[in-house]
Amino acid sequence: MNSKSIHSTHSAKSLRLLAPSKSSDDIEIKITEQIKPVIGPTEALVRVSMAAINPSDVKASLGHMPQAVFPRTPGRDYVGVVEEGPKAWIGKTVFGSGGDVGITRDGSHASYLVLPINALLEKPKELTDAQAASMGVPYVTALDGWAKAGYPAPGDYVIIAGAMGKVGLAAASLAKLYGAHVIGIKRALTPAIPGHACEVLLDLEDPVLEKKLMELTQGLGYSCVYNTVGSPYLDLALNVLAHKGKQILISTLDRNCPFDIFKFFRKEMTFYGVDTLKMDTVASNQILKKLLPHIASKRLTLPQEERPVIYSMEDAASGFSQTFLKGGVGLLQIN
């Protein structure tokens, strides 16, 4: 294998979590000097320029994920330049995500990230660094859910529950791409993100929400509910889904959720669960790769949301706390 490297004169540093933190207000992150990693023959070295702070990064730092190891460098999503590895990749800007990165091994909140060569995914020129660095977990989750349940057909009516969250925005964009009527539900206090893909956007607290939802389908119901929040939308989804309707679940507020089992089996419904932590960076980036033709053709419209807050590594603890409290995705400026 032909390989070479390019050399950077910038100092290298990384964030380190030595142990689970007690609370989101008490997240302890150390900034340490990073020794440039030595890569193996099947690996590449990426100089990270920007990385996301995802809610899953914060939950892992709090010990909510039993698979997370300590000490480690957090960070699942990234964008950066290949500095060492196969000759054909040197100098290319890559982006991606992984359920292992930053969870079971050192992640992207560092100057250097070691990746398998098979995980390298070139960043499309149509994406800014900020977009590329923050779309990994949301779009891998959205894509995996739709792939399991089946992408909507043109004209299908689907609901995105938690539509203004990162995964909700991604799931809605994909549903619109496939020609569905996309109905979004959000909390009343949650502002609408400009450029979202929902045809109609309703509030969960609306006292006649179910009536409005059914009227939109002339009483026929919905083929699928992409439920990004879990328990608050569970009963509503069962009520408005059509016969043989499907519900995709990626998270929940309450773990034990009673629901009408009779209604569930009488309607012959199906639940689909999504857990992107089980997909390593090779598997995750193979999923993200499916987006590239749609990004290049500009058929996939990314929401024109407010600029995410960009944190320095020195302010990373604040970024973790704010992401935990407010949701969404923050960004770390690395190099």
Express each pLDDT in 216-261 by its tens digit: 999 999 999 999 999 999 999 999 999 999 999 999 999 999 999 9
Any idea what the CATH number is for the domain that residue 218 is in?
3.90.180.10
Question: Is the Cα torsion angle 88, 122, 91, 281 positive or negative in sign?
Answer: negative
Structure tokens at 95: 């982006």
pLDDT of residue 335: 82
Helix (H, G, I), strand (E, B) or coil at 322: helix
Judge if 206 and 269 occupy the same domain.
yes
pLDDT of residue 181: 98
pLDDT at 3 exceeding the cut of 60: no
Q: Within a domain: residue 294?
A: no
CB 54 within 8 A of CB 277: no
Task: State which residues form the domain around 248.
Answer: 142-276
pLDDT of residue 25: 81
What ranges make up the beta strands (E) of 171-219? 181-186, 200-203
Q: Identify which has the larger pLDDT, 238 or 66.
A: 238
**Average of per-residue pLDDT across 178-198:** 95
323 burial via Cβ count (<10 Å: 0-12, 13-18, 19+): buried
Q: Within a domain: residue 222?
A: yes
Judge if 131 and 248 occupy the same domain.
no
Judge if 255 and 180 occupy the same domain.
yes
Closest-CA residue to 249 (of 285, 224, 278): 224
* Count of domains observed in the chain: 2
Residue 1 pLDDT level (bands cut at 50, 70, 90): very low
Judge if 151 and 203 occupy the same domain.
yes
Judge if 184 and 212 occupy the same domain.
yes
Q: Within a domain: residue 281?
A: no
Judge if 90 and 152 occupy the same domain.
no
pLDDT of residue 190: 92
Q: Within a domain: residue 235?
A: yes
Judge if 13 and 117 occupy the same domain.
yes
Q: Within a domain: residue 287?
A: no
Q: Within a domain: residue 15?
A: yes
Judge if 271 and 149 occupy the same domain.
yes
pLDDT of residue 2: 40
Q: Identify which has the larger pLDDT, 83 or 259.
A: 83
Residue 4 pLDDT level (bands cut at 50, 70, 90): very low
pLDDT of residue 306: 52
What ranges make up the beta strands (E) of 235-306? 241-249, 270-273
Express each pLDDT in 283-308 by its tens digit: 999 999 999 999 999 998 776 555 57
Q: Within a domain: residue 295?
A: no
Q: Within a domain: residue 293?
A: no
**How much of the chain is helix, strand and coil, in % rounded to 5?**
30, 25, 45
Judge if 182 and 219 occupy the same domain.
yes
Judge if 148 and 35 occupy the same domain.
no
Highest mean pLDDT among 24-33, 38-47, 301-310, 325-334: 38-47
Q: What is the mean pLDDT of the chain?
A: 92
Single residue among 276, 293, 314 that ends a domain in this structure: 276
In the block, tokens 């990234």 appear at: 78
Judge if 105 and 121 occupy the same domain.
yes
Residue 5 pLDDT level (bands cut at 50, 70, 90): very low
Judge if 124 and 155 occupy the same domain.
no
Single residue among 276, 291, 322 that ends a domain in this structure: 276
